[in-house]
Amino acid sequence: MKNWLWGVLTGIGLTFFLFMLIGVAAFWVRTRPPEVHQNTTLVLDLHGDYPEQTSPDLAGQLLGAPDRSNFLSVIEDIERAADDQRITTVLLKPSELTVGWAKMEQLRDSLDQLKRKGKSVTALMATAGSREYFLSSVADQVYLSPVGVLDMKGMRIEVMFFKDTLAKLGVQADLEHIGKYKNFSDQFTANRMSDAFREAETALLDSIYGQFINTVAAARKRSPDEMRALIEENGPFTAESAQRSGLVDGLRYEDQILDDIKAHNPDREIHRLTFSDYSKTAPSEKGRDRIAVVYAVGAITSGEDRFDPLQDGKTMGAKNMSKVLDDVGKDKTVKGVIVRIDSPGGDAFASDAIWRDMQNLRKKKPMVISMSDVAASGGYYIAMTGDPVVAEPGTLTGSIGIVYGKLNLRGLYDKLGINKEILARGKFSGMDSDYQPYTPEERQRVQAMMQDFYSKFVGKVATARKMSPEAVDKVAQGRVWTGEHAKSNGLVDELGGFPKALEIIKQKTGIRPDAKVELVEYPRRKTLFELLLSRAQSSEVRLPIFVSKVLTAWKGIEKFPNFPSSFWLARMPFAFEFR
């Protein structure tokens, strides 16, 4: 019996050792950088989303699998490839891109800089839409698969309204808003767009669509009017019709393109290297000066960061951000800070808490604000430090306004056979009750409180932007602007992406424009032990994509702080997107 037990334990130990050995071998193989040869063709396969900061991956840390690239790492690798003399040609293969238009513009700008440094860029699309074509249009030659489809037919915004749905449940959204265009509440109190709502969304659509048309028209050497008519009257396009229309230069498979590249190479030899493998090669030399990159990403909430299964990521908790900003301020090795914002806003008081911590940090370190896809409402609020603000033309920003209210659930309770009796002391003690709407006196008090917060929001913007409160109010009123229009209205300083923000922070810190710097990311990545501990304490569940898309429409209700009592929100609309 003793020998049998000893044999079992030995077998378990050997099995465990074998798994550890396999894990180490897999880690070594995966992390060993590939060799980059002369005359290398870099295959840049871009697909899906590229978040600002990726969530730590447990399996990746255990087995050595690479994390999903975050957006700035992709930009850095493209810039590195532009300076790499071993890479002569880039084969761009965009597919099923879901990044926002601001990130699309930054990606395209980076590829354009790569071309300017002498690299030949060829694009190959399979089934492509407006995003893929926008990116591909930067290439010297644009090809489509012989069985591909160019699914371009214009652009639209879709907005969901839930008033009638809530009514069927017996729920009334009793919401008030400050700002003519603060249309978040309209999605729950109306069943169609108001005139102001339609005006604002139409302006956003015209701005983004106009940027798209102007860019691809210039790339294909056509007038914007001609390109617009071609797309709107003839799309979507089969492979043959896309070629006849001059939207692509030919129909090719990847092996045919690689053969063409080889034929034009003096040595009749090329080396194919994937972008994921290239990202494992030695990075560019880091400089001695350190710049902190603080990611302010996600809907703004009070307290700790929270996991958001609908968006496959976290929220921005004010408590966590306070610690992050404090840590950056205490780091004596950091010369300057770039705060990278990708947030639609959220809890108004949490936004103010983060703004205050940002103000304290700017007293210790030079700072620049870099806006990504979205920096609106509370996301714009936290940017109002008085430091330079950089946005892409397609960034959604502004939305200076406030929403306050509650859900009246009395009808739902009636359907469920629930009855409430309320005993109260104080004229306004029942104001937050979910069993009754606001009385006229309560509504007046709510509006007065909202006006006070809105005035303070406008005041912070006026101070930071060096504008009068009256001038801010004219471009505020809850209206969402693209970066293009925000610049002309004085709400941002510069149009550009992260490289522009880096250029400005170098100026502010006295670093030479051409000097290399080390970018230090905050919040810092979790160690393997911290990751294991957080997973053990967490109930994080990622939903299937199709379920997530449906449930996202209901995020407005799910996100109401302190549901079902009242809430303050500095938040842009939840459920609209460009398609």
| DSSP states of 159-204 | E---HHHHHHHT-EEEEEEESTT-TTTHHHH-SS--HHHHHHHHHH
Which of 249, 278, 307 is the C-terminal boundary of a domain?
A: 278
Residue 551, pLDDT > 60, answer: no
pLDDT, the chain, mean: 84
Comparison of pLDDT for 314 and 429, the residue scoring more: 429
Which tokens hold the place of 253?
């498979």
pLDDT band at 410 (very low <50, low <70, confident <90, very high): very high
Same domain, yes or no: 271 and 313: no
Same domain, yes or no: 127 and 242: yes
Number of neighbours of residue 11 by Cβ within 10 angstroms: 10
Percent of the chain residues past pLDDT 90, beyond the cut: 62
Same domain, yes or no: 263 and 336: no
pLDDT band at 494 (very low <50, low <70, confident <90, very high): very high
Crossing angle of helices 101-116 and 498-509, rounded to 10°:
80
Same domain, yes or no: 354 and 402: yes
- Comparing CA positions, the residue from 91, 75, 84 lying closest to residue 36 is 84
Phi, psi (rounded to 5 degrees) for 82: -65, -30
364 is a domain residue: yes
Number of neighbours of residue 292 by Cβ within 10 angstroms: 26
pLDDT band at 5 (very low <50, low <70, confident <90, very high): low
Residue 374, pLDDT > 60, answer: yes
Task: List the single range of 341-350, 494-503, 565-574 with lowest mean pLDDT.
Answer: 565-574
- Comparing CA positions, the residue from 572, 569, 205 lying closest to residue 399 is 572
Number of domains in the chain: 2
Comparison of pLDDT for 253 and 19, the residue scoring more: 253
Same domain, yes or no: 405 and 265: no
18 is a domain residue: no
Instruction: Tell how strand 141-150 and strand 157-159 pair up.
Output: unpaired
77 is a domain residue: yes
Q: What local confidence, expressed as pLDDT, does residue 404 receive?
A: 86
Same domain, yes or no: 130 and 247: yes
Q: What is the pTM of this model?
A: 0.84
pLDDT in tens, 100-155: 999 999 999 999 999 999 999 999 999 999 999 999 999 999 999 999 999 999 99
Do the Cβ atoms of 379 and 552 come closer than 8 Å? no
Q: What local confidence, expressed as pLDDT, does residue 11 receive?
A: 59
Same domain, yes or no: 387 and 458: yes
Q: What local confidence, expressed as pLDDT, does residue 316 receive?
A: 92
Which residue range(s) make up the domain with 345?
289-572
Which of 254, 278, 302 is the C-terminal boundary of a domain?
A: 278
Comparison of pLDDT for 274 and 537, the residue scoring more: 274
pLDDT in tens, 228-247: 999 999 989 999 999 999 99
Same domain, yes or no: 339 and 256: no
Residue 371, pLDDT > 60, answer: yes
218 is a domain residue: no
Which tokens hold the place of 381?
């609020």
Distance spanning both ends of the chain, measured CA to CA = 70
Same domain, yes or no: 505 and 403: yes
Q: What local confidence, expressed as pLDDT, does residue 305 receive?
A: 80
Which of 220, 253, 278 is the C-terminal boundary of a domain?
A: 278
HSE-CB of 6 using CA atoms within 13 angstroms: 3
Same domain, yes or no: 256 and 324: no
Same domain, yes or no: 304 and 252: no
284 is a domain residue: no
Same domain, yes or no: 454 and 564: yes
In sequence order, the β-bridge partners of residue 271 are 40
420 is a domain residue: yes
Residue 23, pLDDT > 70, answer: no
Residue 555, pLDDT > 90, answer: no
392 is a domain residue: yes
Which tokens hold the place of 129?
């839409």
- Comparing CA positions, the residue from 362, 378, 341, 351 lying closest to residue 501 is 341
- Comparing CA positions, the residue from 469, 544, 498, 474 lying closest to residue 310 is 544
CA–CA gap between residue 359 and residue 437 (Å, rounded) = 38
Q: What local confidence, expressed as pLDDT, does residue 10 receive?
A: 63
Q: Residue 252, SS3? A: coil
183 is a domain residue: no
Q: What local confidence, expressed as pLDDT, does residue 38 receive?
A: 85
Do the Cβ atoms of 141 and 369 come closer than 8 Å? no
Residue 223, pLDDT > 90, answer: yes
Q: Residue 236, SS3? A: coil
Do the Cβ atoms of 368 and 78 come closer than 8 Å? no
Q: What is the CATH number of the domain that holds 121?
A: 3.90.226.10
Q: What local confidence, expressed as pLDDT, does residue 568 receive?
A: 58
pLDDT in tens, 61-111: 444 444 557 899 999 999 999 999 999 999 999 999 999 999 999 999 999
Which tokens hold the place of 528?
């393997």
Residue corresponding to tokens 């043959």 = 240
Q: What local confidence, expressed as pLDDT, does residue 280 receive?
A: 85
